[in-house]
Amino acid sequence: MDAGVYALLNMENGHSYIGSSVDLHRRQHDHFAQLTSGRHRNHRLLRAWRAFGPEAFVFMVLAVCLPRQLFWLEQMAIDGWSPEYNGSTLAHTGMKPGWHHTEEAKTRMSKTRTGRKLSRAHCDAISAGRRGIVFSEATRKKMSDAAKRRPRRKPEEGK
């Protein structure tokens, strides 16, 4: 598990995406899995993936470093490469590793979700999206075994 800065390079047009991760191997796998499934959150990158195909993209490690150096090195790479697929010119505008919500923020978020009811139309849409999924016997067995290993919640531990 190496921490470092990487580029996803489109070999067809030379455009790139710069990122960093504390686990480069895992991040590469996640990028390609999300792009292949069509569920990547970077829509620019996803459109390019669909247009040029997976064979056009290369995952290139630019630097291996300590986790505390990630943001600085990522910013240097963004400044130097001017990547077309990055949505921001700032390194890691999302949550930083080790960052946590305050207890006050957690309470506020919890209150906004508590007691929230989904509309009938929303429930029907969720149900319709799940119809037609057929699991193999082996998958059903794995799901059953996993459910048996989960600790059961006692009724008094509920809401």
Backbone dihedral angles phi then psi of residue 19, each to the nearest 5 degrees: -150, 180
Q: Does the residue 37 lie in any domain?
A: yes
Q: What is the pLDDT of residues 77-114, one digit of tens each?
A: 999 999 999 988 888 655 555 567 789 988 888 888 77
Return the sign of the alpha-carbon dihedral for residues 121, 123, 126, 131: negative
Residue, of 124 and 14, whose pLDDT is higher = 14
Residue 154 CA, chain-centre distance (Å), reads: 33
Q: Does the residue 120 lie in any domain?
A: no
Q: Does the residue 74 lie in any domain?
A: yes
User: Cα(157)–Cα(123) distance, rounded to whole angstroms?
Assistant: 26
Q: Does the residue 117 lie in any domain?
A: no
Q: Does the residue 65 lie in any domain?
A: yes
Q: Kindly report the CATH number assigned to the domain that includes residue 26.
A: 3.40.1440.10
Residue, of 12 and 112, whose pLDDT is higher = 12
Q: What is the pLDDT of residue 46?
A: 94
Q: Which domain holds residue 26?
A: 3-81
- Give me 15's structure tokens: 């455009």
Quote the strand ranges of 11-116, DSSP E. Answer: 16-21, 57-65
Instruction: Read off the pLDDT of each residue in 49-70 and give the average, rounded to a whole number.
Output: 94
* Prediction pTM value: 0.60
Total domains in the chain come to 1
Angle made by CA atoms 5, 9, 11, in degrees to the nearest 5: 155
User: Cα(122)–Cα(118) distance, rounded to whole angstroms?
Assistant: 6
